[in-house]
Structure 1
Amino acid sequence: MPSKLPGKYNYNFIDLFAGAGGLSEGFIQAGFNPIAHVEMNSFAAQTLVTRSAYYYLKQTKQMDVYYRYLRGEITRDSFLEFIPNHISQTVICETMSNDSLPRVFKNIDGIMMTWNMQSVDVIVGGPPCQAYSLVGRAQSSHMEIPMKDDPRNYLYKLYARFLRKYQPRMFVFENVTGIKSAQGGTIWKNLQEDLKHVGYEIDCREQNAQTFGVLQNRRRMVIVGWLKNTGLAYPDFKVKNTNAVVNDLFTDLPELRPGESNNTYSKIKPSRYVIENGIRTMDDVLTLQNCRPNIERDINIYKRAIELWNDGHKRLNYNDLPQELKTHKNRHSFTDRFKVVEGDEHCCHTILAHLSKDGHYFIHPDIRQHRSITVREAARIQSFPDSYYFEGPRTSQFVQIGNAVPPLMARGIAEGIFAKLHREDADVQQ
């Protein structure tokens, strides 16, 4: 388990639809103890196991094992031999459904018994957002299952069953802003009714990762709920201002050309932003700094896009390309499909799971490198520490990162939740 909160109070949480663990990471950094992470994707679940192993090895002063694994000096099987089963078993790889929930509940109850936990303080998570997203709806006509019939629309009902069973004092339900308008607002209305029906008061506010110090414009709906008649409320999250720009995330990373890989930090010192926010420590081992190969046509387009951005922040319109560089038949929508990461701005556009398909929407701002961003660069934009290792093939790593809640944002949310719980406990003691 990670280090506990200093002082008298010690809170724990369950993470549902955990993905790669962005929400969990923020809550752990804020001092909360994870009871369990529930995630259906096997690669994301492996990432969660690796991160749980990291915290165990850190607490038991065996970090040399972790660094040997990251450097490829030992296999994953050898690495996991150092990790007790009760640590890795906190990650439950299950597809959530009415049929699987009894098994998941049984596993969580067993974990709580092992750790002698009597109650759950907080439940966090958010069902997969594709069924609610505006982009997803725009593409629904090309899908085998129409968006309105997507079963993911109703996963909030399973979330509500966890609330009913464990009765946490508070919960955090994060999702895309499109959740309020999905199916003409019907899902949003039913979701609120279900969450209230199991004994909670709720409030929902749009939050932007940028206000939590993340160098990214990432708007999300954050629902917070609390047990009725407890006096708890939606936290006032602290705004974290920074003068950093996106390029500050890249200065200590090696330059790469398309198709190259280099997991050695550059000789340039990391920026103040990277150090102060715990993204890099002096002990870290660099991983996942490898980039896609690109054909000459795409490299030419990337260079044009970067030149335009450097010339007064202009954006490349696909229709303005020379005919020999155009391959897409669709000339009416997604004309900004080639987009440069805003390196000299205080935040860049939203990191998306679409990075797994291609990197055209996330071109590195350095024209000398003329490539798309790496997994590690995407992780840094999302505020993941360099010690955070994503398992699976590169496509899965990009999906995990693109779907995650930025840990720095999650930490700010967790600190707000802690303040509310702490204040209530202090009032009870008086």
Structure 2
Amino acid sequence: MIPVIDLFAGPGGLGEGFSSLKQYDGSPSFQIVMSVEKDDQAHKTLRLRSFFRKIYAANGDTIPRQYLQYMQTHDRGKLDELVTRYSAEWAAAGHEALCAALKDGDSTLVEEGRKRLKEFGITEGGKWVLIGGPPCQAYSVVGRSRRTREKAKLEADEKQTLYKCYLAFIKELKPAVFVMENVKGLLSARHHGEGVFSRICADMQDAGYEIRSLVKRDADEPRDYVVEAERFGIPQMRHRVILLGVRDGCKRSSATLKPLTPINLRETLVGIPRIRSGFSERNEGWRDKNWNDYLNGAICKLLESEEGKELENILVRVQQQNPPRLMRKNKVTGKMGRYDEWYRGRLGIHKVLANHESRTHLAADLDRYEFCAAYAEKYGEPARIPEFPRYLYPNHKNVQNAKPREGIKFDDRFRVQLWDRPSTTITSHIAKDGHYYIHPDPGQCRSLTVREAARLQTFPDDYFFEGNRTSQYTQVGNAVPPLLAQEIGKIVAELLGVEATGYCDTITLVSDGDAS
């Protein structure tokens, strides 16, 4: 097994990919010896997942009944039963997953990492892997565009220097390989007038590492380091900069990610039961028991508009079908999807489904969601605000003052996901509202749940997200897709001469060539 240190781990998506790889004898190819996350709720998820891996192995590769019950009820008593039964594994998970903040200039965690590697038998220059990446917010193009008047504050943002914490581990502990992930905005970000991407690459090279691309053998431009996840079997158009650092002296070439048959939203969400949205407490006069009456009224109003009349067949069908009655369901339907073995494999015959609960919405937004979903079904494209009936225009000055069919800034602020395509990028913004993540079924009239977003990020259904729902959305949005991480882990394992097989070895390649 190759030891791994995971920095800025979030809920553990990148580590999950590496940890799930197996050698031919069934033993793990990698073992996480330390993961670091400062957010308390994400850390709880991270520790629980470490605990899950340990108790799953201790229980003969079977999920303990109490864990299934905890997923279903989130009853602390069930977790306490598990902790009592598997006290050594719980302690080991707490040792592995640290709730701590990385700080530039503070070597405490570097020294802890050195200690962990030494316990594993690794000395400086040994065979181990560093994974992770600094927080994305400071590099986000959207974030920067919203703060163009605060350039000085942006360039002083400490998040722009957190990669130095990552660099400290590289300089001091000399991993054989590192994997560093960040948003595309990294390529154009500047700090005190200097390009962040070029500075990072120069620092890593000065530390004794060759920077390689996962998608192009001879990368010569910054964009050659962008991984487009949907090309590699991920049901999401997630484009991220991922650097593969190889310690100088390694003469092995590294493989590139192999394209896989694309998977769309419909195939990904197979088995997820239908539920409905709810009313926000700010909706005066409406309660959840009136949901169907409200939706029928919203459809009638839509049908009075010119835009709604174009969608009559779809809207009338929604009125005539049996509506979902519940906002939350904790069992799958039993239908099988293309990735079912990945999502449900360890759960076996158990139908438990966690984190599948709709959020509540303003009544006026339900009208918009209904229109958007019906529009997408008819035209195969998301509606933009100029396509809305005028009464559904958001109450913003730049929208209300716009002339019909003229340009509106952010005219895609209500965006339905499409059944026959990968989703758009799942980001932490999903925690704020569901407007960019509207479910395509007009009969459900809601945004995506945490579990649906987690499916699009390729988290297995046995992966339980701790914290309140807002935190759960944030954790999912900030994570690296585990299936993509698994494919990256296979490339790293090959570089280091270790066997590694994963789920994607069982699914169809687009071609046998590399992604370039």
Q: TM-score, normalised by structure 1?
A: 0.89
Q: Distance in 2 between matches of 1:114 and 1:83?
A: 21
Work out whether 1:187 is the aligned partner of 2:196: yes
Describe how 1:271-286 pairs up with structure 2 within 5 A.
Answer: 271-275=337-341, 281-282=347-348, 283=350, 285-286=352-353
Q: How does 1:47-196 map to 2 (within 5 A)?
A: 47-61=45-59, 63-72=64-73, 73-75=75-77, 76-81=79-84, 82-84=86-88, 85-98=91-104, 101-118=106-123, 119=126, 121-141=128-148, 146-183=153-190, 186-196=195-205
Other-structure match for 1:34:
32
Task: Answer whether contact 2:138 2:144 (CA < 8 A) is retained.
Answer: yes
CA distance, structure 1, for counterparts of residue 36 and residue 270 of structure 2: 36
Sort the Cα spacing of 1:241 and 1:320 in 2 relative to 1 into closer, same or farther, 3 A. Answer: closer
Q: Does the alignment pair 1:25 with 2:28?
A: no
In structure 2, give the amino acid aligned to 1:52.
S
* CA shift digits 1:67-119 (9 cap, x unpaired): 232233543445434343222211111111135x4321343344345555554
Higher CA-based Rg: 2
- What is the TM-score when the length of structure 2 is the normalising length? 0.75
Structure 1 window deviating more from structure 2 (181-190 vs 291-300): it is 181-190
Match of 2:366 in 1: 299
Aligned residue type for 2:395 = T
Change (3 A) 1:116 1:65: farther
Supply the AA of the counterpart residue of 1:35.
V
Q: Gaps spanning 5+ residues in structure 2: where?
A: 22-28, 214-224, 279-325, 400-407, 500-516
Contact 1:92 1:104 survives alignment (8 Å): no
Cα separation, partners in 2 of 1:316 and 1:206, compared to 1, 3 Å: same
Distance in 1, Cα, partners of 2:135 & 2:43: 15
Q: CA RMSD in A?
A: 2.3
Q: Secondary structure at the match of 2:36?
A: strand
What SS does structure 1 have at the residue aligned with 2:227? strand
C-alpha displacement of 1:145: 7.4
Change (3 A) 1:362 1:192: same
- Could you tell me which amino acid in structure 1 is paired with residue 47 of structure 2? V
CA positional deviation for 1:351: 0.7
Alpha-carbon shift at residue 36 of structure 1 (Å): 0.8
Contact 1:39 1:45 in 2 (8 A): yes
Structure 2 Cα separation of the partners of residues 68 and 113 of structure 1: 38
Output aligned runs, 1:161-310, within 5 Å: 161-183=168-190, 186-204=195-213, 205-242=225-262, 244-259=263-278, 260-275=326-341, 281-282=347-348, 283=350, 285-310=352-377
Contact 1:225 1:234 in 2 (8 A): no
Instruction: Say which is worse superposed, 288-297 or 358-367, in terms of deviation.
Output: 288-297
- 1:313–1:146 CA distance, 2 compared to 1 (3 A): farther
1:14 is matched with 5
Q: Which moved more, 1:298-307 or 1:273-282?
A: 273-282
Letter matched to residue 415 of structure 2 = K
Q: When the two structures are aligned, how many residues end up with a matched partner?
A: 412
Paired residue type of 1:414 = G
What residue number does 1:7 align with? none
> Runs of 4+ in structure 1 displaced over 6 angstroms?
142-145
Matches within 5 A, 1:344-423: 344-345=420-421, 347-422=422-497
Q: Mean alpha-carbon deviation: is it higher for 336-345 or for 354-363?
A: 336-345
1:183-214 CA-to-partner distances (Å, cap 9, x unmatched) read 27621121111111111111242111112211
Amino acid in the other structure paired with 2:99: C
Shift of 1:274: 2.5
Aligned equivalents of 2:461, 2:109: Cα separation in 1: 31
Residue by residue over 1:216-266, the C-alpha shift from the partner in whole angstroms, topping out at 9 and shown as x without a partner, is 111111111111122144431222224x43112223111111034333334
Q: What SS class does the counterpart of residue 15 from structure 1 fall into?
A: strand
Partners in 1 of 2:113 and 2:30 — Cα distance? 17
Asked if the contact 1:44/1:391 (under 8 Å) is kept, the reply is yes
Structure 2 distance, partners of 1:158, 1:402, is 23
CA contact (8 A) 2:47 2:94 kept: yes
Counterpart residue identity of residue 249, structure 2: N
Alignment-mate amino acid for residue 83 of structure 2: L
Question: Aligned partners of 1:157 and 1:232: how far apart in 2?
Answer: 27
- Counterparts of 1:310-349 in structure 2, within 5 Å, are 310-325=377-392, 326-331=394-399, 332-345=408-421, 347-349=422-424
Indicate if the aligned counterparts of 1:128 and 1:152 stay in contact, CA closer than 8 A: yes
Q: CA, structure 1 residues 142+185, in 2 after alignment: closer, same or farther (shift >3 Å)?
A: closer
* 2:457 and 2:481 in contact (8 A); partners too: yes
